[in-house]
Amino acid sequence: MNIDIITIFPEFFDAFLHTSIIKRGIEDGFLNIKTHQLRDYSSLKHNRIDDTPYGGGAGMLMMFPPFYEAIKTLKKQHTKIIMTSPQGQLFDQKKATELAREEHIIVLCGHYEGIDARVEDLIDEEISIGNYVLTGGEMPAMIMVDAISRLVPGVIHEDSSETDSLQKGWLKYPQYTKPENYEGYRVPDILLSGHHQNIEMWRKEQSIRRTLSKRPDLLGEIKLTEEEKKILKRIQSEKQG
């Protein structure tokens, strides 16, 4: 997976790219993530990249030419170009899984009052991480790159990503580690039983219970198996009765 991030603050990503799983993924050759200083693609004095908007308005707008030149330089045959924007599609696990299959992604980080609208002719999609406005696109870019990178084969153990919350629609079941009893707070007996089939059934039910309790809005997006339908019906019956 190759990811290029175009930003006016490449230093923002220094710790991110040199820490933990992302660092290992890069060192092991599964990830190739690079930041690019947008100012390097400006032909103006002092590498200026912003100006006042035509028609008036508050604040400064990022100019079109530097983004055009950066994209022209970095784009390959199979490149997906994404712009971080509060106007974009909301980012979720499904979108992260989809993007993890791409060969090459370019992420544009906006700033100030945004980017000259002509850049929309060069991108494939706008993506938002939530219904709020941030000072720049660096943090959304970091969040998206992190979520995408961990789904790239080899970056983390496949079994781990397959059981993540939201990977199959459900929230993840509760997990516990040693000691089995601390100040009266005990690990559920089922997890100490050694009966793997019963443990898997318990975990599936707990995932459904957690989703119902914490994120019932997700239910409409999940394609239920027959087994999940039965568990869900039983849990709902308990709540009603």
Tell me: the pLDDT tens digits for 70-81? 999 999 999 999
Q: Which amino acid type is present at position 215?
A: R
pTM of the model: 0.84
Please tell me which residue, 146 or 112, carries the higher pLDDT value: 146
Which one from 113, 125, 146, 205 is the annotated catalytic residue?
A: 113
2-6, 57-61, 162-166, 204-208: least confident range: 162-166
Which one from 53, 86, 92, 215 is the annotated catalytic residue?
A: 86
CA distance 225 to 159: 20
For domain 181-240, the CATH superfamily is tRNA(m1g37)methyltransferase, domain 2 (1.10.1270.20)
Domains of the chain by residue range: 2-158, 181-240
pLDDT of residue 169: 84
The CATH fold of domain 2-158: Alpha/beta knot (3.40.1280)
Torsion of CA 52, 53, 57, 61, to 10 degrees: -70
The pLDDT of 35-44, averaged and rounded, is: 97
pLDDT of residue 73: 98
CA distance 172 to 183: 25
Q: Which tokens in the block code for residue 14?
A: 């220094």
Residues whose CB falls within 8 Å of the CB of residue 168, separated by 6 or more in sequence, listed in order: 162, 222
The pLDDT of 143-158, averaged and rounded, is: 93
Q: Is the peptide bond before 10 cis (omega within 30 degrees of 0)?
A: no
Residue 113 confidence class, pLDDT cut points 50, 70, 90: confident
Strands (E), 28-74: 32-37, 50-51, 61-62
Nearest to 64 by CA among 110, 31, 127: 110
- Whether 92 sits among the annotated catalytic residues: the reply is no
- Whether 10 sits among the annotated catalytic residues: the reply is no
pLDDT over 80 (residue 163): no
- Whether 150 sits among the annotated catalytic residues: the reply is yes
- Whether 50 sits among the annotated catalytic residues: the reply is no
